Amino acid sequence: MIDIRLIDYLSGKSGIRDKSLIEKDFILQSLLVGFAKDKYFSGNFVFKGGTCLVKCYLGYFRFSEDLDFTYINQGAFKGKSENGIRRFLSSEISRLLGIVGDISKAYGLDFKAGKENKRYAEFGGSNRFLTLKIWYVSAVSRRDQFIKIQLNYVDLFKYRFKKLAAKPMIEADAKEAEFLFPGYAGILLAKPKLMAYDIREILLEKVRAILTRRGTKARDFVDVFVITEKLDKDMWAFKKDVILKAKFMLKYEKYRQNLKEKIKVKRWVKPGEEEHLLLKPLKGFQPFLEEFYPFLDEVVGEVLRE
């Protein structure tokens, strides 16, 4: 359990009142430090998703509480039979689970490396998609909480990766941190470097998630908005690659069914639904949505026709 005095200190320093978010971000940062130090993990997995977006690119316009990675060497599956792929994945996943278990133990977190316990690991797509849950007792709520890590072993990459530093939500003063919290200073001050998706790749994935996820999540729309604002481009410039990324996942039936359900959607996000997510106000989000919806409708139609 993290010392509650550290959480109180970071809350006072930042003005963020929700201490559970501060605690969770500290644990996220701890895990990223561990992953960056491990040669196998850092050499075989690329950081992506909403947490990558806020830590490596845009800062904390919203809080993100999951970690997402993709297996880098997609060529490892070429020429293998389905049985060969299963054997390969079984070996790779066993190694990964052991690493996650060791890193979790080093930071006082709860993770068991076995494949059969659904409290810690769930598999999908013939083991090509993996969800891990790393548990901890919250110093804030005194209840069990978890960090979710999602890993894809298959994907289509459109842009080169970058090695980037993952920044904490709250940057501490070095002398102060080392004096007040010497046992935590290594994490407080760390900015671990990992291979990360290009911000344009994150954009493509976010739109694909909107299209193929069961239901909708306002955070995906917020992320698409802030990325397009950062790039100073609208989504039509990325239409071709969005379609390619979406079609890549349609070999998995659940994603195809989820996409078909999107034909029925009339309004993707309720007005104001995004507000509880934000650490900073967004200007121009609603006008963006009105322009984005026709793009989504057109892409859904084109993907399903092909």
| DSSP symbols for 154-199 | -----S--EEEE---SSPPPHHHHHHH-TTTHHHHT---EEEE--H
Joined together, the tokens standing for residue 108 give: 């006082």
Element (H, E) at 45: strand 45-48
Pure H helices in the chain: 4-14, 19-37, 39-44, 49-52, 82-106, 174-180, 185-188, 199-212, 218-231, 239-249, 253-261, 285-305
- Output DSSP code: residue 56: I
Parallel, antiparallel or unpaired: strands 66-71 and 45-48: antiparallel
pLDDT for res 213:
87
Tell me what the mean pLDDT of segment 185-193 comes to.
95
pLDDT score, position 214: 85
Please tell me the distance from the alpha carbon of residue 64 to that of residue 59, in angstroms, as a whole number. 11
pLDDT value of position 15: 87
What would the pLDDT profile of 245-302 be if each residue is shown by its tens digit?
A: 999 988 888 888 888 877 766 667 776 666 777 888 889 999 999 999 999 999 988 9
Dump pLDDT digits (tens) for 62-113. Answer: 999 999 999 999 999 999 999 999 999 999 999 999 999 999 999 999 999 9
Instruction: Over range 232-256, report the average pLDDT.
Output: 91
Please report the pLDDT score of residue 274 as a whole number. Answer: 67
- What percentage of the chain exceeds 70 in pLDDT? 97
Which pLDDT score, from 0 to 100, does residue 192 have? 98
Mean pLDDT of 226-234: 96
Average of per-residue pLDDT values in the chain: 92
State yes or no: pLDDT of 120 exceeds 90: yes
CA–CA gap between residue 150 and residue 77 (Å, rounded): 20
Domain boundaries, the chain: 1-197, 199-306
Sequence-ordered strand ranges (E) for 100-161: 121-124, 129-137, 144-152
Rounded to an integer, the average pLDDT of 26-38 is 98
pLDDT of residue 254: 83
